[in-house]
Amino acid sequence: MRTPSAILLLFAIVSANAHESPIDHVDRRLYFSVKGNDLVLQYSLRQTQRAALLEMRAMDENRDGLISPMERKRYFEARSRRLAGLLHLVESEKTMSFKVAGKVVLRPDFSQEFLFSASLDGAVDLEFTDGFSRQYPGVLVLEKSTPDPKSPLLTIRESPKMLNKRGHVDLTVLEIKIKRNE
């Protein structure tokens, strides 16, 4: 009789440690660059088909089964602002806020590309935290910026604070160093 009890206990422990359905997993691609005194972030995320359908349902404000251009515009403007609020950039206790810097680009593969910028005010040693990755874990791809002799050099690496669990990123934390040309 102890064997079935042990199996049930083991099953309960494994189930308790299981994570949410892959519907919540979001693949993200981050591309950082410096333009003038701003850190620019192209933030792309790709959802599952099911998550995209749920998002379309949320866009349909009047529940008529159609998504008007105005409903889509309002939805993605609000989503951009919410996402910008989850992105944090800090240097020595000083926080720099990301602002929406462009319209969302929608792609056929269910990906969405957002554009953000944050004023650096001379900052060169930064920590970037993506709070959205904490809510929706998934795969992270850091794209390297193309070298431009006139642009500052960016060095980006994963912070020891970054959380990787269950085979994907649970919290994105990056160390960004900016070396400006003299």
User: In the predicted model, what is the mean pLDDT of residues 48-60?
Assistant: 87
> Within a domain: residue 15?
no
What whole-number distance in Å separates Cα of residue 88 and Cα of residue 93?
12
Question: Which is more confidently placed, 96 or 146?
Answer: 96
Q: Which of 48, 58, 37, 30 is nearest to 140 (CA)?
A: 30
Residue 9 lies in a domain: no
Query: What is the tally of structural domains in the chain?
Result: 1
Q: Domain range spanning residue 39?
A: 23-179
Does residue 9 surpass a pLDDT of 90? no
Tokens representing residue 61 in the block: 């404000």
| Token reading at 118 | 């944050």
For residue 76, is pLDDT > 50?
A: yes
Confidence at 15, pLDDT banded by 50, 70, 90 = very low
3-state secondary structure of 124: coil
- In this prediction the pTM is 0.81
In-domain check, residue 13: no
> Is there a domain that residue 8 lies in?
no
In a domain, 11, yes or no: no
Mean pLDDT across 79-85: 96
Which residue's structure tokens are 């604070």?
161
